[in-house]
Chain A
Amino acid sequence: MDAYDYLFKFILIGDSAVGKSCILTSLIENKFKKGSSHTIGVEFGSKIINVSGKRVKLQIWDTAGQERYRSVTRSYYRGAAGALIVYDITNRDTYHHLINWLADARTLARADISIIAVGNKSDLKDKRAVTFLEASRCAQENEILFLETSALTGEGVEEVFVKVAKMILNKIEDGMQHIEEGLGYHGLFSGLIDPATMMSGVHAGARSLLNEASPAEPASRCISC
């Protein structure tokens, strides 16, 4: 029952009240958690999902969003393979802060962390303040994935997790190839991206990797800029 092929640690970050905990509840319990308290320290959830025929166990850490909690949430980033940076499509400020969260994720987690920007509350169409296109471009410029979700209806929620997991799996498979080609274990994770040349590392590694690994997944291509 509990068997899985891979285990990935994910973190859910982003401003206060954008719906991080609701996304987690939506994923794990398939329902919308109405009338709950905000997160203080950390909420934890885990789920096994199927990604490209593999059983992937996700350990998801859901953090407090208030700016001041950043120093205490630091320790949750350690070793995270995936990060969901959530903003509220009805609140531009939360979108503007995406870039700060991105810097946190890239500084505090492993160098090869796979990141997705998540525009939540997509059900609130009338109140939309951030367009799909601009967020998509922003994600592209910052070399991260992007999707919109509604924790209320559940739309897009599982896809977000699957998408990031798929990206991590691709990196792993690429790392395996490196090993087979005699490049050594170094290529498996950390070698994909050299922290010293982070920019070029991501460009070269990620693009070739994603283009050949998932041609049928057009959304993934938005990281390939």
Chain B
Amino acid sequence: MTGEAEAVGPPAAEYDEYGFVVPAGALGREIVRYKQQFQPKAERRVTRWERFRRADPSLSNRRRLKRLVRKGIPDSFRKEIWAHCLGSQRLRDANPNKFESLLREPLSDETLSQIELDLTRTFPNNKLYKYEDGVAKLRRVLRAFAVHNVRVNYCQSLNFIAAVLLLFMDEELAFWTLAQVVSSEEGAKGLHIDGYYVEGMDQLRADLRALERIVQRKFPNAYASLRREGVELEWVCQEWFHTLFSTVLPIQTTLRVWDCLFLEGHKILFRVALAIFKENELRISKFQSLEEVMVSMREISSHQVDHNSLLKAAFKGIGRLKRAQIRREQAYGERMVAEENAAAQARRERHNQAHPPPPAKPQLPALDNPGHGEAGGSGEESPVGAAVREAARRLESVIDSCYDSILGDGDDDVDVSPVDGEPPAARLPGSIPALSPDSVFSYLGVSVSSMLQPSNSSDATRSSVNVHRGDNALATSPAK
């Protein structure tokens, strides 16, 4: 039990049964100790599950299944029971060649590169993902999913969910299971959480608002403590829901949560989140600074080693939690999110009108990456788009020169010596200080009003906003 002995660490205890590095220090010791303590229960559960499977091969007794699942599915049964609960086995059987054919479909550069970026950043503390073999499996599951679910495509967090599934399943089943977890194509099973992973993440945000209201009601002191320190509940809980707790709880606890989640559905996310508050209510209520809240909440979730106790709290400790109540709060959350979105939109519009930034180089097309345009959603450039781009480029050099003439010596304000053979930026002749907005427009050789014609293409609409900004910038700069 001495800290020194543990710190060095016997090689046998380096990885747990799921391939994760056992955390160093007290947390690691606690995990090992709890596992030993839980061992007799775990063995009894295996026996009970074996008996249950023999007596009811089709898993038709749902009540019995639920009771057993709540007590935890043994590792050896997880693959089968998860696939059964989510209906992913049936989907796989019904679509025998789908996975392979999805892998032959193309994906945008943007999606491919985001997946690549995340592969090496998905549970780097797990043995499976330390090697190319495991990484390649994860890559294929995520790519197939991105093709399959067009709306979601790829979103960070899905990588963690897929990675945990792959600890138990082959690629194809993991893919179908992920598909079911997210969008529920098979029957009434699955979690129906597409909206957690699409642009805007409205469903996630609405659920977090709903959770906030329930936490506030059930644990007023804990909630008040967060608010007192200026912490929004969503800052703490977003990751909980987004990765289905897989990045915040110890793996053993995550698996117990997923057992129930996959059978009983989305509501379990709420129950478990509330259970974390319940189990740590006193500590949370006494937080005294924003730092303490942010650091301790992370520590609290990563220390939920006693999964039995957490699950007990989720089903008993937190008291009644009806589906109807969650639905009511979700509806409230949806209204809040809609209001927020409208406010954000309005702010963006105000900003674009009131604060036109000078057109800058990053607006220009990435010439070295022709595929990028497609990924960005502006594949075919309209004539208007091209004219605008050209105008923006000229505007840029005009404004460059304006700055220089205002400041006198243009090089003086850059505190660096030229590097890397960067060619000097294009400059206009010294007539710039005399520029009036009119003369600038004629120099640009384009009529602004002609570019502001309404257009169906969203690209052109966006571009016209840029022209508008340029217009403002020009109108103010020479006046100085």
Question: Chain B 94-136, CB within 8 Å of chain A: the 1/0 string?
Answer: 0000000000000000000010011001111100000000000
Given contacts A16-B114, A140-B414, A225-B407, whether A74 and B247 have CB atoms under 8 Å apart is no
A134 adjacent to B422 (CB under 8 Å): yes
Q: Does B324 contact A (CB under 8 A)?
A: no
A137 adjacent to B407 (CB under 8 Å): no
| Contact residues in A for B204 (Cβ distance below 8 Å) | 72
Q: Does A186 contact B (CB under 8 A)?
A: no
Given contacts A98-B362, A199-B476, A225-B407, whether A66 and B156 have CB atoms under 8 Å apart is yes
Cα A108 to Cα B351 in complex, Å, equals 10
| Contact residues in B for A95 (Cβ distance below 8 Å) | 362
A103 shortest CB reach to chain B, Å: 7
Nearest residue in A to B424 (C-beta to C-beta)?
A: A133
A193 shortest CB reach to chain B, Å: 10
Interface of A is mostly: helix
Q: Does A76 contact B (CB under 8 A)?
A: yes
Which of these, A69, A76, A137, contacts B414 with CB under 8 Å?
A137
B295 adjacent to A40 (CB under 8 Å): no
Nearest residue in A to B341 (C-beta to C-beta)?
A: A71
| Contact residues in A for B121 (Cβ distance below 8 Å) | 17, 36-38
B415 adjacent to A222 (CB under 8 Å): yes
Contact residues, A189-225 vs B (CB, 8 A): 195-200, 203, 218-219, 221-222, 224-225
A185 shortest CB reach to chain B, Å: 22
| Contact residues in A for B420 (Cβ distance below 8 Å) | 128, 131-133
B368 adjacent to A108 (CB under 8 Å): no
Nearest residue in B to A225 (C-beta to C-beta)?
A: B403
Q: Does A99 contact B (CB under 8 A)?
A: yes
B201 adjacent to A69 (CB under 8 Å): yes
Contact residues, A1-45 vs B (CB, 8 A): 16-17, 35-38, 40-42, 44
Cα A162 to Cα B117 in complex, Å, equals 30
Cα A133 to Cα B199 in complex, Å, equals 35
Contact residues, B163-205 vs A (CB, 8 A): 197-202, 204-205
Cα A59 to Cα B235 in complex, Å, equals 14
A138 adjacent to B200 (CB under 8 Å): no
A198 adjacent to B355 (CB under 8 Å): yes
A99 adjacent to B415 (CB under 8 Å): no
A66 adjacent to B291 (CB under 8 Å): no
A200 shortest CB reach to chain B, Å: 6
Question: Chain A 86-99, CB within 8 Å of chain B: the 1/0 string?
Answer: 00000011011111
B118 adjacent to A38 (CB under 8 Å): yes
Q: Which of A76, A108, A225 has the largest count of B CB atoms less than 10 A from its CB?
A: A225
Which of these, B124, B351, B368, contacts A107 with CB under 8 Å?
B351
Q: Does A46 contact B (CB under 8 A)?
A: yes
Q: Does A83 contact B (CB under 8 A)?
A: no
| Contact residues in A for B354 (Cβ distance below 8 Å) | 195-198
A92 adjacent to B368 (CB under 8 Å): yes
Which of these, B155, B295, B344, B361, contacts A66 with CB under 8 Å?
B155
What number of A-B contacts does a CB cutoff of 8 Å give? 162
Question: Chain B 240-267, CB within 8 Å of chain A: the 1/0 string?
Answer: 0011000100000000000000000000
| Contact residues in B for A106 (Cβ distance below 8 Å) | 351, 355, 357
Nearest residue in A to B240 (C-beta to C-beta)?
A: A41
A64 adjacent to B156 (CB under 8 Å): yes
Nearest residue in A to B476 (C-beta to C-beta)?
A: A199
| Contact residues in A for B472 (Cβ distance below 8 Å) | 199
| Contact residues in B for A225 (Cβ distance below 8 Å) | 403, 406-407, 413
B121 shortest CB reach to chain A, Å: 4
B242 adjacent to A218 (CB under 8 Å): no
Cα A95 to Cα B361 in complex, Å, equals 10
Q: Does A120 contact B (CB under 8 A)?
A: no
Q: Does A141 contact B (CB under 8 A)?
A: yes
Q: Does A142 contact B (CB under 8 A)?
A: yes
Cα A136 to Cα B357 in complex, Å, equals 16
| Contact residues in A for B372 (Cβ distance below 8 Å) | 93
| Contact residues in B for A198 (Cβ distance below 8 Å) | 354-355
B358 adjacent to A142 (CB under 8 Å): yes
B360 adjacent to A138 (CB under 8 Å): yes
Q: Does B283 contact A (CB under 8 A)?
A: no
Nearest residue in A to B479 (C-beta to C-beta)?
A: A200
| Contact residues in A for B364 (Cβ distance below 8 Å) | 96
Q: Does B1 contact A (CB under 8 A)?
A: no
Given contacts A38-B121, A38-B156, A40-B247, whether A138 and B414 have CB atoms under 8 Å apart is no
Question: Chain B 292-303, CB within 8 Å of chain A: the 1/0 string?
Answer: 001100000000
A44 adjacent to B415 (CB under 8 Å): no
Given contacts A38-B156, A66-B156, A221-B413, whether A72 and B201 have CB atoms under 8 Å apart is yes
B351 adjacent to A103 (CB under 8 Å): yes
| Contact residues in B for A92 (Cβ distance below 8 Å) | 366, 368-369
| Contact residues in A for B418 (Cβ distance below 8 Å) | 133
| Contact residues in A for B403 (Cβ distance below 8 Å) | 140-141, 225
A10 shortest CB reach to chain B, Å: 13
Q: Does B399 contact A (CB under 8 A)?
A: yes
Cα A96 to Cα B416 in complex, Å, equals 21
Cα A71 to Cα B239 in complex, Å, equals 14
| Contact residues in B for A197 (Cβ distance below 8 Å) | 354
Q: Does B480 contact A (CB under 8 A)?
A: yes
A136 shortest CB reach to chain B, Å: 6
A222 shortest CB reach to chain B, Å: 6
A134 adjacent to B118 (CB under 8 Å): no
Question: Chain B 211-254, CB within 8 Å of chain A: the 1/0 string?
Answer: 00000000000000000000010110011001100010000000
Given contacts A71-B201, A74-B344, A142-B360, whether A136 and B416 have CB atoms under 8 Å apart is yes
Question: Chain A 148-170, CB within 8 Å of chain B: the 1/0 string?
Answer: 00000000000000000000000
Which of these, B155, B198, B232, B351, contacts A75 with CB under 8 Å?
B232
Given A107-B348, A222-B414, 5 other A-B residues pairs in contact with their CB atoms under 8 A: A38-B121, A40-B243, A71-B201, A72-B234, A219-B415
* 5 A-B pairs with the lowest CB-CB distances in the bound complex, closest first: A198-B355, A41-B238, A44-B294, A35-B124, A99-B362
Can you list 6 A-B pairs with a CB-CB distance of less than 8 A?
A: A41-B238, A59-B290, A96-B364, A107-B348, A136-B414, A140-B403
